[in-house]
Amino acid sequence: MSLGEFFADGVHQADRQIFFAARDLVELSDGGVSYRQVGRDLSNRAIQLLHERYAPGAGTGRHEFSHDGEECGIILRGELTIVVDGEKAVLGPGDAYSFESSKPHTFKNDGPVECEVISACTPPTF
């Protein structure tokens, strides 16, 4: 069971929802990093779209992680430090990233303000 399915509260729609109000996005985490997913059950979907927020100092953890697929994103606000397969970059508003998710990677907001990102991952990983 994916995290999206777990947080879907047992709701299953025969027809796929097309439009989503902000209140419809599914929160997949808590604490310093927020992942708000478009759609509840992505088990039969090819892509996952997330609205991410990183509080100052928050990140994906000390250990790198990897998984099958690809991911990309664009920074809307703040700064995000990204390390992919040993390469490090600090990205700001308008900057973007795209990489194979099988490469070890981490994300962290080392800046003084919240970082906001729109990202996509294929296939869905949560």
Contacts of 17 (CB under 8 A, 6+ apart): 24, 39
pLDDT at 9: 54
Token digits of residue 91: 């990205």
Return per-residue pLDDT of the chain as tens, 126 residues. Answer: 555 556 555 545 456 899 999 999 999 987 899 999 999 889 889 999 999 999 999 999 889 999 999 999 999 999 999 999 999 999 999 999 999 999 999 999 999 999 999 999 999 987
pLDDT at 117: 98
Query: Which residue reads 């795209």 in tokens?
Result: 98
pTM of the entire predicted model: 0.84
Q: Is 22 helix (H, G, I), strand (E, B) or coil?
A: helix
Tokens found for residue 93: 């508003």
CA distance 76 to 82: 15
Q: CB-based burial of residue 47 (10 Å sphere; 0-12 exposed, 13-18 middle, 19+ buried)?
A: middle
Looking at residue 44, its pLDDT comes to 87
Give every CB contact of residue 63 below 8 A, 6+ residues apart in sequence: 106
Q: Which CATH number fits domain 3-122: 3.40.190.10, 2.60.120.10, 3.40.605.10, 3.30.565.10?
A: 2.60.120.10
Contact of 123 with 46, CB cutoff 8 Å: yes
Looking at residue 31, its pLDDT comes to 83
User: Per-domain residue ranges for the chain?
Assistant: 3-122
Q: Tell me, what's the pLDDT at 43?
A: 86
